[in-house]
Amino acid sequence: MQQRWQKKKKHFPLIAVIFFVFIAFSILWSESNIGVIHQHQSHRDKNGEKQRSFDQNDSLLDSTPAQNFNLSKKSPVGIDKFTTCASTVRYSGRRAVSAIHMEESGGRRAASEVEGCDLFSGKWILDNVTHPLYNESECPYMSDQLACHKHGRPDVGYQFWRWQPRNCNLKRWNAVEMWEKLRGKRLMFVGDSLNRGQWISMLCLLQSVIPKDKQSITPNSELTIFRAENYNATVEFLWTPLLVESNSDDAVDHRMNERILRPDAILRHSSRWEHADILVFNSYLWWRQGSVKLLWSDDENRICEEISGLGGMELAMETWADWVASNVDPQKKKVFFVTMSPTHLGKYEWEPGSEGNCFNEKQPIHNERYWGTGSDLPTMRMVEKVLSRLGSKVSVLNITQLSEYRKDGHPTIYRKFWEPLGPEKTSNPASYSDCIHWCLPGVPDVWNELLFQFL
C-alpha cells in the first residue's frame, strides 16, 4: 500500500477509503474482544466479591517492587469460598519462602525483657477495686459471642481478676495515654476470632474517653475500622485466620468442608495491612482442626496437596515472615505476634479423674506449673523458630501461660450461638460449652494491657 501511495498520488480517495475501512474494522474487532472480557468478568463476579478484589490486587504484581515469593508468570486464579480441589495428592515438599536470607538473630526479644522483668510470668490476683476496667453493658462494641453476663452467666467473678507479674508491676491502664500513643496512627489486629476478641477488648478499653460524635465504626467485610476523629487514629480488625489467602477468608461464611489455602500468596491481605503503623498478628486455632490442602498459585489444574495442620501453618508462617523481612522497618512500624490462646476442653487436665470441661468453673488455676494440651509445644517451637529469623522486626506477646490459668474465663454456654441448640445439647451444657473464646471484660483485656506496656 505504501508503494502505491508513493507512485500514484491521484488514487488518494480510494486509498483513504480503504484505510478508514481498515480502521473501522479494527475498532469493531476491539469492541468485540472487550465484550468477551466483560462477559468473562461477569462470569467471574458470580463467584463473589472476594474474587473481584483479588483480581484487582493482581495488577499490583507488575507495579510493586519484587515481593520475593515464588510467583508464577501468570496472575494466579483467585481463591475464595467457592474454590474446590479437582484432585488431591500428598504434599510434595515444596516451599514458598523467598531467596531473602534472614539470619538467625538474637535481636528479637520477648517484649517483657525490655522492662527488665518477665511480665508474662506471675499469677492472678482477685481485685474488685480496680477491675473490671470497663462495664460490659457500657461498651457499644461488645460482641454477643463474648458478652457472658448479658447472656445469663450468674457469676461475675471472672471480671475481677488482675494479672500480677512476678517481681514487677504492669503499668496501670490509661485510655488517654494509649490514645496519645496512637495519635495519627493506624493500629490493626490481623487474625482469627480470638484476635477479633482482643480487638473488641481494645475498643471497650478505649471508647469511653472519645466523645460520641467523634467516634465511628465502619464494617467492611473482612476489614472493620473504628475511628477516633479527635486523635486522627484508627483501631482496626482484619479477618485473616490463616495469614495467607484461603477459602476461609470470608468474615462470615467461612465454615468449609475442606480448608484450602495458597501457601505462597499473601498480597491480597498484605495490601490491606501494609500501611498500618502498629500490627498485632495471631494464628493458631484454625490449624488445630486437622489437615489442610495447599493450592499453589501457579497451579491451573486445581490439584491440591494435603498436609498436616502444623505443616501448613509453618508454610504460612514462612510466607508471612518473608513479607515482614521485606517490608518492615522497626523504626517506622511496630509488629507484634501474639502466641497461642489456650483452650480448656478437658477438666481431667486440672482435676485428674474428673469429667467435663470449663463449664461451671469459677476460679483460675493456681498451680503455676500447669500446662494443658490446648497449648501445643511443637507448634510453639515452630513459631519461635520462624520468628527468630526476623530479629527485632517482631516483638512477641507471650499470652499463653498466663491464659492457661484462666479456666474460668470462657463463655461456656453464656453467649449467643449462631445455630439452634436441640434438647439433647441443652440437657448437657458441657456438650456445647465454648471453652475457646473469652468473656469480656476478662482475659483479653490483660493481653491489651501488655500491648500498652510496649508501645
Cis peptide before 154 (omega within 30 of 0): no
Q: Is 151 a catalytic residue?
A: no
Strands 122-126 and 161-165: antiparallel
Task: Please identify which of the residues 143, 193, 297, 341 carries the catalytic annotation.
Answer: 193
Residue 378: partners with Cβ closer than 8 Å, 6 or more residues away: 310
Q: State phi, psi for 378 to the nearest 5 degrees.
A: -55, -40
| Whole-angstrom distance, CA of residue 281 vs CA of residue 187 | 11
The single-letter DSSP state of residue 307 is E
State the catalytic residue, choosing from 192, 264, 322, 434: 434
User: What are the start-end ranges of the H helices in 238-396?
Assistant: 267-273, 309-327, 377-388
Quote the cell numbers at residue 167.
517481681
Rounded to whole angstroms, the Cα distance separating 380 from 451 reads: 20
Query: Can you tell me which residue has the cell 476491539?
Result: 30
* Residue 412: strand, helix, or coil: strand
Element (H, E) at 294: strand 292-294
219: cis peptide before it, omega within 30°? no
Whether 410 is catalytic: no
SS3 439: coil
- In this structure, the number of other CB atoms found within 10 A of the CB of residue 258 comes to 15
Active site residue 87: no
Which set of grid coordinates corresponds to residue 421? 441448640
Parallel, antiparallel or unpaired: strands 303-307 and 223-228: unpaired
Bridge partners, 396 (sequence order)? 110, 337
Q: How far is 382 from 72, CA to CA, in rounded Å?
A: 28
Nearest to 365 by CA among 399, 405, 408: 405
| Residue 452 Cα distances to 129, 175, 295, angstroms | 21, 10, 39
Active site residues: 193, 434, 437
